[in-house]
Amino acid sequence: LKDRDGNRMLSYQGNWRDIFQNWEALAMSWPGFTEGMTAKFLNAMTGDGFNPYRVTRDGIDWEVQEPDNPWSNIGYWGDHQVIYLAKLLESWSRYDRKTLAASLDSPIYSTGNVPYRIKPYADVMNNPRDTISFDYERHERILEREKTEGSDARLVHDASDSVALVSMTAKFVAIIGAKMSNLVPGGGSWLNTQRPEGNDANNALAGWGLSVVTLCYLRRFLVFLIGLYRDSPLTSYSVSEETAAFFGALSRTYRETEPESLFKPAARRPFMDALGSTFEAFRESVYRHGYSPKSRAIPRDELVSGLEAFLAHAEATIRANRREDGLYHSYNTMEVLPDGGLEVHTLTEMLEGQVAVLSSGMLPAKEALALLDSLKSGRLFRADQYSYILYPEKELPSFTEKNVVDSREARKIPLLAAMLDKGDKSIAHADSRGACHFNPDFRNARDLDGALARTGADEATSRAVRELYERTFNHRSFTGRSGTFYAYEGLGSIYWHMVSKLMLAVQEYCLAERDPALGKALAERYYDVRKGIGFNKKPDEYGAFPTDPYSHTPAGQGAKQPGMTGQVKEEIITRWGELGVSVTDGIVNFRPAILRASEFRPDGTLEFSWCGARVKYRLAAGSEQPSVTASVSR
């Protein structure tokens, strides 16, 4: 692109997710950019281990609280943070693992100075939907400083007023520490930063929600890092004093506890309290003072031991979320019990969780095959499009079916029975048919609590009313638009980006498998998922031009919302996998293990280009499976 004067326009901007998902595919066509892409990711990360809202050529950006705007909100969007960093590092490792391993201790990365403050742990536990305060004073100082410093004003500075620089290892401790500090054993990663962690159609889960999806991606990241540090020529890593203390305390807590011992409600709370106070001490130090000028070395063995402890706990919780039908839970919710314990409640099956557990690499090939078969025979397969919906189809209740309370249940509570008899409608009322309903002015349980407080009800009575209220509305299972919409990323809808993610996850198993029989079975499942993608269909079946990417296909309709969706990124990556192009230790390999013979021309050749090089495959005569020789030219 060029401007009116003929100058090249070099720019990028977008939210965190869109920038890095696109760059993952771009890195395959221009590998030399991978190191810079990784630096852009790490430079923008915050000191407390999260990411800003947007990334542009001019720097980072964040959401600003607007008191007069009811749609305004703030919070850390954690979606895809871990998996995108993991995949960038995996890419860099394939091209130049030696440089990556040698870079782990180099203090060359900046830190985003996002004016958010995560509240103390006790406040987060008390109300996990209101956990971040906006520092208006710091925000204004940054904007004023930006006039003279440019985008550097949006970065953390040190005592000498220069941009503070830390190592890659320090960044890893922050991002992993933030996730492991919020692990709910048996449940998943706690979604307590006011924004969704993964699928933003599940936005109502921000607060009491738990993400198994994030934990699966964290598992993949931990496995990669353990191998990387074992290969590193360095024997210790220098980080700031508070970073070292944070990692030491967190890893001790994990090493000293058996994962399965934490799966009961009473055991979860003290473990989470220990994690929460450790994370609070770390981030409060960073908020107040930035990075300490004092550094401390973390020995490699200690670092690897801590990562292995995190891995053991992550895997135990993932395994605990295997369902009886062979699928895995994607998201859960948690409840603080009257005795202080923490209970985990499961939600319905979702496609996202199956993609995540496959991408985690934790399942043996036979288990992956079993999961894919369960997925195909389960409620998430949509036969008319030969593909997969995000959530099971269901019929939402009509207006008259909502807020209906069994009057016999209501009258078992003396307070409600007395109020119903007196005609007091402040909490509930009976209609002309005798059905009971809660006060329609209640927006949530907090409004109910206020009404109960005005009656002077004791705790036992209040608890009984709250439980009846929850049984009536099942707010705990409310996910947001994924449970109330019938289009976009809603009920009965195919979300094509998630289907393409499933395709990529299956292909990773195909390319890694060395057993011929298992490899063949996995390849069959891969092409079965691929069969449902739009380019295989006729326009009347797809509902649109099959060559164009679309966001979603609602139930009973054709494809909707055209554009360069995330599906394109995964299809670029999987196409290279089909062609058998891979890089290991900086050397390109051509091994088309799953490429079908039907793709070759009648003369037995197939041609493409990769990184500017022309590649020609020649199919061995009489071969049913491609047995090829490759020639490469510039």
Reduce the DSSP state of residue 118 to 3 states and report it.
strand
Mean pLDDT calculated for residue range 268-289: 96
* Other C-beta atoms lying within 10 Å of the C-beta of residue 543: 17
Mean pLDDT calculated for residue range 406-423: 93
Cβ neighbours of residue 95 closer than 8 Å, sequence gap 6 or more: 31, 34, 583, 586
Q: Cα separation of 396 and 109, whole Å? A: 49
Per-residue confidence (pLDDT) for residue 406, from 0 to 100: 87
Mean pLDDT, the chain, whole residue set:
93
pLDDT tops 90 at residue 433? no
> What residues pair up with 299 in beta bridges, in sequence order?
236
Minimum mean pLDDT range among 290-294, 372-376, 428-432, 618-622: 618-622
- The pLDDT tens digits for 21-61 are 889 999 998 898 999 999 999 999 999 999 999 999 889 99
Per-residue confidence (pLDDT) for residue 18, from 0 to 100: 87
Q: Cα separation of 281 and 249, whole Å? A: 11
Mean pLDDT calculated for residue range 160-167: 96
Between residues 624 and 497, the one the model is more confident about: 497
Mean pLDDT calculated for residue range 330-336: 96
Strand 613-619 and strand 628-633: the pairing is antiparallel
pLDDT tops 90 at residue 619? no
DSSP state letters, 140-187? HHHHHHHHHHGGGGGB-B-TTSSBP-B-HHHHHHHHHHHHHTTEETTT
Minimal CA–CA distance to 313: which of 169, 180, 223?
Answer: 180
Per-residue confidence (pLDDT) for residue 57, from 0 to 100: 87
Reduce the DSSP state of residue 585 to 3 states and report it.
coil
Q: Determine the straight-line distance between the first and last CA of the chain, rounded to whole angstroms.
A: 26
Q: What does pTM read for this prediction? A: 0.95
Strand 331-336 and strand 59-61: the pairing is unpaired
Q: Cα separation of 232 and 228, whole Å? A: 6
Cβ neighbours of residue 132 closer than 8 Å, sequence gap 6 or more: 74, 75, 76, 116, 117, 118, 119, 193, 194
Per-residue confidence (pLDDT) for residue 626, from 0 to 100: 60
Q: Cα separation of 327 and 350, whole Å? A: 9
Our CA dihedral for 575, 578, 579, 581, rounded to 10 degrees, sits at: 90
Minimal CA–CA distance to 267: which of 190, 340, 334?
Answer: 340
- The pLDDT tens digits for 572-605 are 999 999 999 999 999 999 999 999 989 999 998 9
Token look-up 């980072």 returns 60
Is residue 261 exposed (0-12), middle (13-18) or buried (19+ Cβ within 10 Å)? exposed
Q: Cα separation of 573 and 507, whole Å? A: 10
Q: Cα separation of 190 and 76, whole Å? A: 13
- The pLDDT tens digits for 483-510 are 888 888 889 999 999 999 999 999 999 9
Amino acid in position 18: D
Mean pLDDT calculated for residue range 68-88: 89
Per-residue confidence (pLDDT) for residue 250, from 0 to 100: 98
Per-residue confidence (pLDDT) for residue 488, from 0 to 100: 80
Token pair belonging to 112: 């985003």
Minimum mean pLDDT range among 247-256, 404-413, 420-429, 615-624: 615-624
Minimum mean pLDDT range among 146-160, 312-326, 419-433, 612-626: 612-626
Per-residue confidence (pLDDT) for residue 625, from 0 to 100: 62
pLDDT tops 80 at residue 622? no
Per-residue confidence (pLDDT) for residue 634, from 0 to 100: 66
Mean pLDDT calculated for residue range 441-468: 94
Percentage, residues of the chain above pLDDT 90: 81
Per-residue confidence (pLDDT) for residue 624, from 0 to 100: 61
> What residues pair up with 166 in beta bridges, in sequence order?
109
Contact 551, 561 (CB under 8 A): yes
Mean pLDDT calculated for residue range 130-155: 96
pLDDT tops 90 at residue 79? no
Per-residue confidence (pLDDT) for residue 547, from 0 to 100: 86
Percentage, residues of the chain above pLDDT 70: 99
